[in-house]
Amino acid sequence: MNCYNTGMIAHEKPAYSVQMDFDEEGNLLEVHTSKGEEPEAPAVHPGRKAKFTAFLYVLSALCFFLFWIFRKEADPALQNGFLFGGIAVFLWASIRILAASGSQGRWMSREEFLEDWIVDRKTQKGYKYQDEPGCYVIASYERPLKSSDQIRNYQNVYVGQSLRVYHRIFSHFSGRGNGEVYSDIRDGLYVYVRVVLCREKKLNEMERRLIQVYHATKSYNKTEGGGTIRR
């Protein structure tokens, strides 16, 4: 029997693992759900930003290739241009990957999220300036999370989706989203969020699966999900 408590005592919930298989286009092929440990972040297709990052890697490879072709040329400026250009583009692509994977699939506290909402206005760094579609899981706890083993002991949980997932999460955390989530914040519970980016056409499927995995209809989700894509 599954026990869920919305009071001040957290009851341990049965953990489930989910494996989502995607093809090269990012289309969901199959989902396997079974009892086990805390579910890992599903594989996702990062969308247009990933394509641009791949283009940067190709561009850097082209620069290195041209450097090798012109390595015997007399003009050192041309050689150095290709070499340092390739290095710069390669580093740029690597930084984009690190920035994109920072929040993807991991749990972070509400405080962490809000701290990184606006990192730098000039360079537009921060979650405020990201517009990826995706789903999210917001969970509240009586105590701060110390290890991944405690994740399944949430008191309340809410799963949602949005075409601008980070902005939607900000709405919940600032009192303009789900009222029950914000009540947990006002009541002093420790609130955490997990972001799962995915393609727009897979939002409904991803939301339904996450609601199922986290048993969110036993908490703050009123439906099984997949009905409305939020802006």
DSSP secondary structure code for residue 228 in this structure: -
Cα(62)–Cα(45) distance, integer angstroms? 25
SS3 of 2-36: the string is CCCCCCCCCCCCCCEEEEEEECCCCCEEEEEEEEC
Cα(150)–Cα(45) distance, integer angstroms? 28
Question: Is residue 163 over pLDDT 90?
Answer: yes
Take residue 202 and report the two structure tokens written for it: 């897979």
List pLDDT tens digits, range 12-68: 343 334 444 444 444 444 444 444 444 444 333 334 455 676 777 788 888 888 877
Cα(1)–Cα(148) distance, integer angstroms? 23
For domain 104-218, is the CATH number 3.40.1440.10? yes
Residue 202: how many CB atoms within 10 A of its CB?
A: 22
Average pLDDT, the chain: 76
The sign of the CA dihedral 223, 224, 228, 231 is positive
For the full predicted model, state whether its pTM sits above 0.75.
no
Q: Tokens 């209809």 map to which residue?
A: 217
Q: Partners of 107 in the beta sheet?
A: 194
> Average pLDDT of 123-135?
88
Residue 39: how many CB atoms within 10 A of its CB?
A: 23
Q: Determine which of 98-112, 128-142, 148-162, 171-185 has the lowest per-residue pLDDT on average.
A: 98-112
> Average pLDDT of 7-11?
31
- Res 106: pLDDT: 79
Cα(160)–Cα(158) distance, integer angstroms? 7
Q: How far apart are the first and last CA of the chain?
A: 37
Cα separation values, 127 from 12, 165, 167, Å: 32, 9, 8
List the domain boundaries for the chain: 49-99, 104-218
Contact criterion met (CB below 8 Å) for 210 and 157 = no
